[in-house]
C-alpha cells in the first residue's frame, strides 16, 4: 500500500512544497513544514515499542502528533480532553501507551501518572512551522519504518454506552479504504479546502476531517470552536467543503433567516456534509430553502469508519444516508439473522457490513470481537434501517434504544423524531419506548418546546405524527424537558433521559 499521505513523501532535496496543509486559527503549516515537524517526531517515537497517546485538543499539535505516529507506523490513541478521571484511567490502562504527545503547556490529569510526555514542536513565533522544507517519510529517503496495510493506525475508543469504552483497533488499510471511497463519492480532490470545528479524538473530526484532506493533498482549516461567523469567513475565503454534526447544522438553520451573508457563503460551498447522527429533515429543508444547497449525509461508526453516503453526483434525498460506498457490502437482517432480500423502504432490519473499511479487533477483548461478527465476516452494527429499492439507506435508530415494538409493529424512533421536529412548537425531540401491558411497548416522546411557557399539547403532537406517518406510530406519552442530554458529538444520550 502506498503512503497514507503522498504529499509528505519525496526526496528531501526537492523544492519544498509550500501548499497550505493545516490551519488552526492564525497558526498554519505548509506541506513542507508539516513533513518536517511530523518527520522529526516520527523519528523520535518510532522505537516507542507500543501505542502512543495523543492529548487530542483542537490544535496543530494534535494533527502533527497523529501524522507523526502514522508515518512511524506506531498506533495513535487519541484521548478526549474532556474525559473524566475514571474513563481516562480505563483507557490508559487498557491501551498501555508508552508515552503521550501533547501541546506545550497542556495540563494533564493525574491519571497519566509518570507516563513519559513529549511536547510536539512545530516552530516558534507565529506558529507557522519550522520552515526548513525537510521532508522525512517512511517511504521516501530518510528514515524507514516497518509496517503493512494491516498495521494498526489508530486505537479509537467507543462511547461506552453499554459499559466501559472499548478500543477499536483501526488498521492503515481501513483508513486508506474509507478516505479513497469518500473521494470517489464526494469527488474530493487536492483542490478542495475543508472547514470544520469538530473534536479530534474520533473518526469524524480526525480521520475524515484532518487525515482526509492530507491524503488528497488538499488543506483543512479548523475553526477551533464552531461558530456561524467562522463558517461564513472561511467559505468566503475559498473553503469549498464544510463538515459538521446535526447540532451545528441546526444552529446554522436557526441563524440563516437573520444572516444573509451566511446564506450566501453556504450557497458557494461545493459540498456540505453532516454526520455522526441523523440530521432532521426539517433542518435539511430550512438550509436548502435559504441557500439552494442540499446537505449530504453519510453513515459510519468507529468500528467501520464510513459505510454509506449520498454521492455528490447522486440524488440528495433528505433523511437518508445514501448508498454503500465503493468496496463496502451492506445488508439488512431480521432478528433471527436472516437477510432481508426485498427492499421496499418499509421493512426494518439491522445493518450488517463487511469490507476493507472494517476495524481489526477490540483491544484486549476477543470475546467482544467475536460477538461483533457473524461466522461469515459481517459486522453487526446494531443500527436499524430500511432500504429503498434503489439502494438508498435510511437509519431509523439503534437496535438497543431506538427500535420500539408496539402493537405487533417494529417502529424506528428516528422517523417519529423527524415528524415531531416538523411541528412549529417543537425545538428538540427524542423518542423512546417503555413497557406497556397491552401494546408490549408504548411510544414516549421527549420534547423541548419552542416556547416553554406554551408547549404543544400531547394530543396535538400525537395527531401531528399520526397524520404524517401512521396512527400506530403516534406517541402515547409526551414528556417535556428544558434540554435533551447530548454527548460531545451532539448525539442525544437516551440512556440519560429521566427514568430511562
What is the tally of structural domains in the chain?
A: 2
Q: Report the CATH number that the domain containing residue 261 is assigned in CATH.
A: 3.40.50.12780
Do 145 and 290 share a domain, yes or no? yes
- Cβ atoms of 300 and 307 closer than 8 Å: yes
What CA–CA distance (Å, rounded) separates 336 from 352?
Answer: 13
What CA–CA distance (Å, rounded) separates 119 from 32?
Answer: 20
87: nearest Cα among 111, 56, 117, 52: 111
The residue among 398 and 74 whose pLDDT is bigger is: 74
The residue among 431 and 256 whose pLDDT is bigger is: 256
Let me know if residue 396 belongs to a domain: no
Cell representation of residue 494: 437516551
Let me know if residue 392 belongs to a domain: no
Residue 419 reports pLDDT greater than 60: yes
Let me know if residue 445 belongs to a domain: yes
Q: Report the CATH number that the domain containing residue 474 is assigned in CATH.
A: 3.30.300.30
pLDDT for the residue 29: 96
Do 358 and 411 share a domain, yes or no? no
Let me know if residue 394 belongs to a domain: no
What CA–CA distance (Å, rounded) separates 216 from 391?
Answer: 28
Let me know if residue 63 belongs to a domain: yes
* Of 7-21, 37-51, 103-117, 136-150, minimum mean pLDDT range: 136-150
pLDDT in tens, 163-179: 678 999 999 999 999 99
Stretch (H or E) spanning 99: strand 99-102
Per-residue confidence band for 128, with pLDDT thresholds at 50, 70 and 90: very low
Structural domain range at position 279: 6-387
Do 195 and 149 share a domain, yes or no? yes
Do 420 and 355 share a domain, yes or no? no
Per-residue confidence band for 256, with pLDDT thresholds at 50, 70 and 90: very high
Reduce the DSSP state of residue 405 to 3 states and report it: strand
Segment 212-232 mean pLDDT: 96
Which residues, at least 6 apart from 68, have a Cβ–Cβ distance to it below 8 Å?
37, 38, 39, 41, 42, 45, 101, 120
What CA–CA distance (Å, rounded) separates 172 from 25?
Answer: 29
pLDDT for the residue 7: 73
What CA–CA distance (Å, rounded) separates 250 from 267?
Answer: 16
Let me know if residue 310 belongs to a domain: yes
Q: Which of 354, 387, 420 is the last residue of a domain?
A: 387
Per-residue confidence band for 319, with pLDDT thresholds at 50, 70 and 90: confident
The residue among 77 and 401 whose pLDDT is bigger is: 77
What CA–CA distance (Å, rounded) separates 171 from 152?
Answer: 4
pLDDT for the residue 134: 29
pTM (predicted TM-score): 0.82
Looking only at the bridges linking them, the beta strands covering 409-412 and 426-436 are: unpaired
Looking from the CA of 110 toward its CB, the CA atoms found within 13 Å total: 2
Q: Which of 335, 352, 387 is the last residue of a domain?
A: 387
Do 432 and 483 share a domain, yes or no? yes
Do 369 and 299 share a domain, yes or no? yes
What is the side-by-side order of every strand in the sheet holding 76-79? 116-119, 99-102, 52-55, 76-79, 152-157, 167-171, 361-362
Residue 127 reports pLDDT greater than 50: no
Let me know if residue 415 belongs to a domain: yes
Per-residue confidence band for 279, with pLDDT thresholds at 50, 70 and 90: confident
**Percentages helix, strand, coil for the chain, rounded to the nearest 5?**
30, 25, 45
- Average pLDDT taken over every residue of the chain: 88
* Of 55-59, 425-429, 496-500, minimum mean pLDDT range: 496-500
Do 421 and 381 share a domain, yes or no? no
Which residues, at least 6 apart from 228, have a Cβ–Cβ distance to it below 8 Å?
251, 252, 255, 259, 262
Amino acid at each position: 500500500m502506498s503512503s497514507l499521505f503522498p504529499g509528505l513523501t519525496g526526496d528531501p532535496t526537492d523544492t519544498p512544497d509550500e501548499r497550505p496543509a493545516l490551519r488552526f486559527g492564525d497558526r498554519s503549516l505548509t506541506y513542507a513544514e508539516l513533513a518536517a515537524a511530523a518527520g522529526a517526531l516520527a523519528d523520535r517515537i518510532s522505537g516507542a515499542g507500543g501505542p502512543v497517546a495523543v492529548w487530542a485538543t483542537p490544535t496543530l499539535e494534535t494533527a502533527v502528533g497523529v501524522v507523526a505516529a502514522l508515518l512511524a507506523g506506531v498506533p495513535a490513541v487519541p484521548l478526549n480532553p474532556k474525559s473524566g478521571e475514571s474513563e481516562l484511567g480505563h483507557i490508559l490502562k487498557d491501551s498501555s501507551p508508552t508515552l503521550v504527545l501533547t501541546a506545550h503547556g497542556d495540563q494533564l490529569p493525574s491519571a497519566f501518572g509518570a507516563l513519559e510526555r513529549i511536547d510536539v514542536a512545530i516552530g516558534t513565533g507565529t506558529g507557522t512551522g519550522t520552515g526548513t522544507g525537510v521532508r522525512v517519510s517512511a517511504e521516501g529517503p530518510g528514515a524507514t519504518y516497518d509496517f503493512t496495510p494491516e498495521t494498526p493506525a489508530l486505537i479509537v475508543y467507543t462511547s461506552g454506552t453499554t459499559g466501559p469504552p472499548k478500543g477499536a483497533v483501526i488498521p492503515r488499510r481501513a483508513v486508506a479504504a474509507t478516505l479513497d471511497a469518500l473521494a470517489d463519492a464526494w469527488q474530493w480532490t487536492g483542490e478542495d479546502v475543508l472547514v470544520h470545528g469538530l473534536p479530534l479524538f474520533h473518526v469524524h473530526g480526525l480521520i475524515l476531517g484532518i487525515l482526509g484532506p492530507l491524503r488528497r493533498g488538499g488543506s483543512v482549516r479548523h475553526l477551533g470552536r464552531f461558530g456561524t461567523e467562522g463558517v461564513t469567513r472561511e467559505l468566503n475565503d475559498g473553503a469549498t467543503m464544510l463538515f459538521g454534526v446535526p447540532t451545528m447544522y441546526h444552529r446554522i438553520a436557526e441563524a440563516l433567516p437573520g444572516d444573509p451573508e451566511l446564506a450566501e457563503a453556504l450557497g458557494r460551498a461545493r459540498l456540505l456534509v453532516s454526520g455522526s447522527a441523523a440530521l432532521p429533515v426539517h433542518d435539511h429543508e430550512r438550509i436548502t430553502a435559504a441557500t439552494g444547497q442540499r446537505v449530504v449525509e453519510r453513515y459510519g461508526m468507529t468500528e467501520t469508519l464510513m459505510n454509506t453516503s449520498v454521492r455528490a453526483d447522486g440524488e440528495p434525498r433528505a433523511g437518508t444516508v445514501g448508498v454503500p460506498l465503493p468496496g463496502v457490502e451492506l445488508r439488512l437482517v431480521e432478528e433471527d439473522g436472516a437477510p432481508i432480500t426485498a427492499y421496499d423502504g418499509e421493512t426494518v432490519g439491522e445493518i450488517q457490513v463487511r469490507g476493507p473499511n472494517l476495524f481489526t479487533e477490540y483491544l484486549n477483548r476477543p470475546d467482544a470481537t467475536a460477538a461483533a461478527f457473524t461466522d461469515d465476516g459481517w459486522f453487526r452494527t446494531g443500527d436499524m434501517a430500511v432500504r429503498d429499492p434503489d439502494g438508498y439507506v435510511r437509519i431509523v435508530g439503534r437496535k438497543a434504544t431506538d427500535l420500539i415494538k408496539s402493537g405487533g409493529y417494529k417502529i424506528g424512533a428516528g422517523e417519529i423524531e423527524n415528524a415531531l421536529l416538523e411541528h412549529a412548537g417543537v425545538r428538540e425531540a427524542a423518542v423512546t419506548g417503555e413497557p406497556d401491558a397491552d401494546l408490549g411497548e408504548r411510544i414516549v416522546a421527549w420534547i423541548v418546546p419552542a416556547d416553554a411557557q406554551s408547549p404543544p399539547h400531547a394530543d396535538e403532537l400525537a395527531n401531528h405524527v399520526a397524520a404524517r406517518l401512521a396512527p400506530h406510530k403516534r406517541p402515547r406519552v409526551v414528556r417535556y424537558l428544558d434540554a435533551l442530554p447530548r454527548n460531545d458529538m451532539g448525539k442525544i444520550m437516551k440512556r440519560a433521559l429521566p427514568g430511562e
